Structure 1
Amino acid sequence: MKKEEQKTQADIREMVKDIRFAMLCTNTQKGHIHSRPMGTQGMDNEGNIWFLTAKDSQKLAEIKANANVCVCYAAPSDNTYVCIMGEAEEVDDQRKIDKYWNPMAKVWFPEGKDDPNLTLIKVIPHEAEYWDSDSNRVVAGIKMLTTLLMGKEYAEEGAYGTVKF
């Protein structure tokens, strides 16, 4: 994959805007990485990522102990992968909850957006790393198979780079 440094914050937002779920990675008290799927509620104009969560959740306790997180998005069908590193914080603001509320969240918060245990996680990004290919999964698979049959090393196509926030 060729190294490319020309994507912007807007490009990163565009790359992840249709990927509904991400892996939110936090740090445990023992220094291990703890990852779990989260539904992204939105990304604002500053690039901050918003998640709904419970005030008594383990992820929020981990964030309060160590705010450094990573949010990973994957769209294998498009060969698009993005990891966003940043700092997370709890935002307990009813106006923001109203803004980012999604009716599907009622599965986790049956009392709705007024659930007293409902709060938000805001991830303030510092840097994003991306891998992006113009080839779809079928084309990439054919190229890999051809390379394997020819006994050569696969040269990945597409772009790789980082974006500072």
Structure 2
Amino acid sequence: MTDAKKDFWDRVEDVQAGMLGLTSDGKLVPMSPNVRKAPDGNIWFIAAAGEDIVNDTADAAKDARFVVADAKSGLYANIEGKLAHVNDKEVLDEIWNAVASAWFEDDKQDPDIRLLCFTPDRSATWFTTTSGAKFFYEVAKANMTDTQPDTGYRADLTF
């Protein structure tokens, strides 16, 4: 039996981008997720002052959604939870990377940097194989044996 929650967190680490938004307005914006080295059950985002999603979470955590469709990690998920604006220099130092650096003129010291913390509650999640060769093998085998290809699994997760 696969540990779907462990698989989820392992794969989120490899996701390059997803769509994040508040459930109240239905707008989703592309964002790059970050997970701490010692997982804390949160997905972190580096954002900029003035963005709607930053302004809307400045005073209180809000219901939010993070949607992932990432072939490289084999993770496809509709994740629901709470999104909050957080000031935590230690987390920012830990998750800072070259991608974030490219967006901010003064690097990690840029005064416009805002840290968002997404705490998942539940997720409809699909895990697929990340190997192209395995995928084509499973499709060929399924066609020859008149069975369904084994290319992954689905799990409803509660965090």
TM bucket by the smaller chain? 0.7 to 0.9
For 1:40, the equivalent position in structure 2 comes to: 33
Residue by residue, what CA displacement relative to the aligned partner does 1:4-23 show, whole Å, maximum 9, x if unpaired?
9x644222101222112121
Is the 2:12–2:33 Cα contact (8 Å) retained in structure 1? no
> The residue matched to 2:27 in structure 1 has which SS?
strand
Matching residue within 10, 32, 36 for 2:6: 10
2:87 is aligned to 92
Q: Matched residue pairs, number?
A: 152
Q: Say whether the 8 Å CA contact 2:81–2:121 is kept in structure 1.
A: yes
Mapped to 1, the partners of 2:10 and 2:29 lie a distance apart of 23
* Structure 1: unaligned runs, 5 residues or longer: 148-153
User: For residues 146-165 of structure 1, what are the structure 2 equivalents within 5 Å?
Assistant: 158-165=152-159
Residue 78 of structure 2: which of 83, 86, 98 is its match?
Answer: 83
Which residue in 2 is equivalent to 1:105? 100
Deviations 1:35-64 (A, max 9, x none): 111112325523200010112211112345
CA distance in 1, matches of 2:55, 2:71: 31
- Say which of 51, 55, 73 aligns to 1:57: 51
Q: What is the TM-score normalised by the length of structure 2? A: 0.76
Percent identity between matched residues is 23
SS in structure 1 of the partner of residue 104 of structure 2 = coil
Per-residue Cα deviation, 1:118-141 (whole angstroms, up to 9, x for no partner): 11000011112211234856746x
Point out which structure has higher relative CO (alpha carbons under 8 A, 6+ apart): 1
- TM-score normalised over the length of structure 1: 0.73
Q: CA RMSD in A?
A: 3.1
Residue 109 of structure 1 and its aligned partner are, at CA, apart by 0.9
State the alpha-carbon separation in 1 of the partners of residues 128 and 94 from structure 2: 33
The 3 A distance-change label for structure 1 pair 79 and 94 is: closer
Structure-1 residue corresponding to 2:66: 71
Quick one: which of 20, 39, 43 aligns to 1:24?
A: 20
1:118 and 2:118 aligned: no
What secondary structure does 2:101 align onto?
helix
Decide whether the 8 Å contact of 1:26 with 1:63 is kept in 2. Answer: no
